[in-house]
């Protein structure tokens, strides 16, 4: 049920928005004020503007954050026009709530600020064993991100103010049980329906476009029949692996590194133990646990009196069926393999010793330590290759910023060739042919993110055959390319695409025939007292497994059922047309009291988000929000957004 509410929340409520979640980010609205603005603003909130440079920086930081948290994230999706626009919308939202925060009386106390900062995972990890914060490490982390403690405090305080103001309305929402039931009962109503489909494929044989129609369709849709803009490029990539492969390691330094890591490289100590278990669950009654413990203590007395009888006693008494047949033998194991209480007892015993009664989540144990395998120190020679790889990786991390600066300068200063930077940094010059300006979703060959394609197909890059600037395409990964051959967009002659034009036009005509036939049948059947022979009726609803497309489902559920049966025509666009005969309206399935209470709680959350969104839309009007950057999927014209 809750999955259905979540799935259809955009239908159930007005479009909802994601609440601001404070994470360990060193970027935000405030963080971009120091960047020099471009001549044109991409958005305005009141008297404040957001420049293209601010937008680019914000999105780059957001991509870095996501890639750091989810290394497997698809770079193409992260840098898509939709993802970039989402960043801009979030920047606008942050600006709006910042304005609200400045106009409100809400404050963030120092104690609240400290709690939030200390809860950030990267900072929480800096706590020492005694619980105190490593202040120097904290300052270093901030410094590496271009921030002072005071600046970071101010940023987090602003983020908290955003949350307080944005969530104030959402948390005040209240839905009565009557309102919840009325809404959800209608939303999850079921309808019995008979469906007839009119598919374009069934009408293709009835159409045959003429030469004149083909010519006319081609002339009206020439933009659909163009050769794709493409380029052949050569490119270089600087990443940690490239820096690592260029490093040479001094043998003395490697031996020093070996000595510093000797303990880590040593094998783990292993111990062989046997046990006798008196099983009892941790939530068992006290008298049951006491009885098991008493039995274990009684057996301990016997074992200590005759240590050599341990295996026999284990076979007869242990309630661990897996080890009992082996005389309680658990074999060799290292730390981290057993539950803590058991492991703590084993690793303080001497060889041949028998423990006291040990309590664990499984019950009570009597343990005998049979043997100890001391860890063996790995020789330098046996781990040399592994050490060299580790050492180079560390050095590459430290050296990357320096090499990245060399890379960026070289591709710019010697912009007519990639060979100088490749020779200098020992990089491979790679080639890619037929790189498309607008690649299809499943494009073969290397996939380049949109900002790389923008740089490759930049007018100067193409006309002057200059290197692109150094572009960060992933954490610690820089890219630069040079166009060796450019193929511009070319209108294709009708003779080259006649087959494509015919197929498109035929499908369009077949779709029109399908819709015409459906509408004619609909008019006829509505006038008949007895229905025609139709397919068997099915029951559909939003909370059941999908048996029809979402377009058909919405068409059926939106139909007026004040009189039954009722006919509805559903335009499925290029998929044709559907006629639906709705014969019965079935109430939503009854839910128990607990489920009803949970429904109400979730509905209240959705209502709160809707109220917060409505308030935000009002704020956009108040602060005269304008977004001039075109939204993906719309025409590239200035777009004012004011609600």
State whether 116 and 136 are in the same domain.
yes
Total domains present in the chain: 4
* pLDDT value of residue 129: 67
State whether 171 and 193 are in the same domain.
no
Q: Is residue 288 part of a domain?
A: yes
State whether 79 and 125 are in the same domain.
yes
State whether 221 and 231 are in the same domain.
no
Report the C-alpha gap between 264 and 460 in whole angstroms.
54
State whether 459 and 315 are in the same domain.
no
* pLDDT value of residue 454: 87
Mean pLDDT by groups of 10 residues along the chain of 643 residues: 43 33 33 40 88 85 73 71 88 82 66 81 75 79 74 76 63 78 86 96 96 96 91 94 85 80 72 94 88 94 93 94 91 88 93 94 94 80 80 84 92 93 94 87 68 88 91 88 94 94 96 96 90 90 85 94 94 95 91 83 83 84 90 56 40
* pLDDT value of residue 33: 34
Q: Write the burial class of residue 520 (CB in 10 Å: 0-12 exposed, 13-18 middle, 19+ buried).
A: exposed
Give the residues across from 219 on adjacent strands. none
C-alpha atoms less than 13 angstroms from C-alpha of 143 in its C-beta half-sphere:
6
State whether 169 and 80 are in the same domain.
yes
Is this structure's pTM higher than 0.85?
no
389 three-class SS:
helix
Report the C-alpha gap between 531 and 583 in whole angstroms.
11
DSSP sequence for 365-418: EEEEEEEEEPPPPPPHHHHHHHHHHHHHHHHHHHHHHHHHHHHHHHHHHTTT-S
Q: Is residue 476 part of a domain?
A: yes
State whether 139 and 275 are in the same domain.
no
DSSP code at position 228: P
Neighbours of 226 (CB within 10 A): 13
State whether 6 and 90 are in the same domain.
yes
Q: Is residue 183 part of a domain?
A: no
Q: Is residue 546 part of a domain?
A: yes
Report the C-alpha gap between 394 and 389 in whole angstroms.
9
State whether 172 and 77 are in the same domain.
yes
Which of 373, 405, 436 is the C-terminal boundary of a domain?
Answer: 373
* Structural domain range at position 308: 267-373
* pLDDT value of residue 168: 62
Q: Is residue 253 part of a domain?
A: no
The pair of structure tokens assigned to 50 is 């957001």
Q: Is residue 640 part of a domain?
A: no
Q: Are 153 and 112 in contact (CB under 8 A)?
A: no
529 three-class SS:
coil
* pLDDT value of residue 405: 92
State whether 120 and 146 are in the same domain.
yes
Q: What's the CATH code of the domain at 331?
A: 3.10.50.40
* pLDDT value of residue 149: 82
State whether 21 and 86 are in the same domain.
yes
Q: Is residue 641 part of a domain?
A: no
Report the C-alpha gap between 596 and 600 in whole angstroms.
6
Q: Is residue 500 part of a domain?
A: yes
State whether 61 and 155 are in the same domain.
yes
* pLDDT value of residue 69: 66
């Amino acid at each position: 049920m809750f999955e259905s509410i979540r799935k259809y929340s955009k239908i159930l409520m007005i479009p909802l928005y994601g609440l601001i979640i404070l994470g360990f980010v060193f970027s935000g609205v405030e963080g971009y004020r120091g960047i020099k603005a471009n001549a044109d603003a991409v958005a305005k909130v009141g008297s404040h503007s957001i420049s293209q440079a601010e937008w680019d920086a914000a999105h780059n930081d957001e991509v870095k954050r996501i890639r750091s948290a989810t290394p497997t994230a698809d770079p193409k999706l992260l840098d898509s026009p939709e993802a970039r626009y989402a960043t801009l919308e979030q920047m606008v939202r942050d600006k709006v709530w910042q304005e609200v925060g400045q106009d409100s009386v809400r404050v963030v106390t120092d104690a609240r600020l400290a709690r939030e900062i200390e809860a950030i995972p990267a900072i929480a990890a800096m706590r020492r064993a005694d619980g105190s914060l490593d202040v120097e490490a904290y300052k270093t982390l901030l410094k590496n991100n271009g921030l002072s403690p005071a600046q970071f405090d101010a940023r987090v305080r602003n983020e908290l103010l955003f949350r307080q103001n944005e969530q104030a309305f959402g948390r005040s929402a209240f839905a009565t049980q009557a309102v919840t039931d009325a809404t959800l009962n209608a939303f999850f109503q079921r309808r019995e329906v008979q469906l007839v489909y009119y598919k374009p494929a069934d009408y293709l044989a009835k159409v045959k476009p003429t030469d004149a129609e083909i010519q006319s369709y081609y002339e009206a849709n020439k933009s659909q029949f163009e050769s794709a803009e493409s380029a052949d490029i050569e490119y270089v990539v600087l990443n940690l692996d490239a820096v690592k492969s260029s490093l040479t390691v001094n043998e003395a330094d490697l031996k020093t590194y070996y000595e510093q890591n000797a303990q880590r490289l040593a094998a783990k100590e292993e111990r062989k133990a046997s046990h006798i278990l008196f099983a009892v669950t941790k939530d068992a009654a006290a008298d049951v646990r006491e009885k098991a413990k008493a039995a274990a203590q009684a057996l301990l007395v016997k074992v200590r009196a005759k240590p050599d009888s341990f295996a026999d006693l284990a076979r007869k008494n242990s309630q661990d069926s897996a080890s009992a047949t082996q005389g309680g033998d658990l074999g060799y194991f290292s730390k981290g393999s057993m539950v803590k209480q058991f492991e703590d007892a084993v690793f303080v015993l001497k060889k041949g010793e028998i423990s006291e009664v040990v309590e664990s989540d499984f019950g009570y144990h009597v343990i005998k330590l049979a043997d100890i395998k001391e860890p063996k120190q790995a020789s330098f020679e046996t781990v040399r290759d592994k050490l060299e790889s580790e050492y180079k990786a560390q050095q590459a991390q430290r050296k990357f910023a320096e090499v990245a600066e060399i890379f960026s300068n070289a591709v710019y200063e010697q912009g007519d060739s990639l060979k100088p930077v490749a020779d200098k940094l020992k990089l491979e010059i790679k080639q890619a042919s037929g790189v498309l300006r607008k690649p299809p979703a499943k494009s073969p060959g290397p996939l380049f993110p949109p900002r790389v394609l923008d740089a490759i197909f930049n007018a100067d890059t193409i006309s002057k055959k200059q290197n692109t600037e150094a572009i960060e395409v992933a954490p610690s990964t820089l890219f630069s390319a040079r166009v060796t051959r450019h193929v511009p967009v070319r209108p294709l002659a009708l003779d080259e695409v006649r087959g494509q034009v015919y197929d498109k036009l035929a499908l369009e005509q077949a779709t029109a025939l399908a819709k015409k036939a459906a509408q004619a049948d609909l008019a006829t059947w509505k006038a008949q007292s007895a229905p025609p022979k139709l397919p068997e009726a099915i029951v559909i609803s939003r909370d059941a497994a999908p048996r029809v497309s979402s377009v058909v489902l919405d068409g059926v559920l939106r139909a007026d059922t004040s009189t039954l049966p009722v006919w509805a025509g559903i335009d499925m666009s290029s998929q044709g047309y559907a006629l639906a005969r709705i014969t019965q309206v079935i109430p939503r399935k009854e839910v128990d009291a607990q489920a009803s209470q949970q429904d109400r709680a979730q509905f209240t959350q959705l209502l709160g988000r809707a109220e917060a969104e409505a308030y935000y839309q009002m704020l956009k009007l108040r602060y005269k929000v304008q977004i001039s950057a075109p939204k993906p999927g719309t025409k590239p014209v200035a777009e004012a957004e004011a609600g």
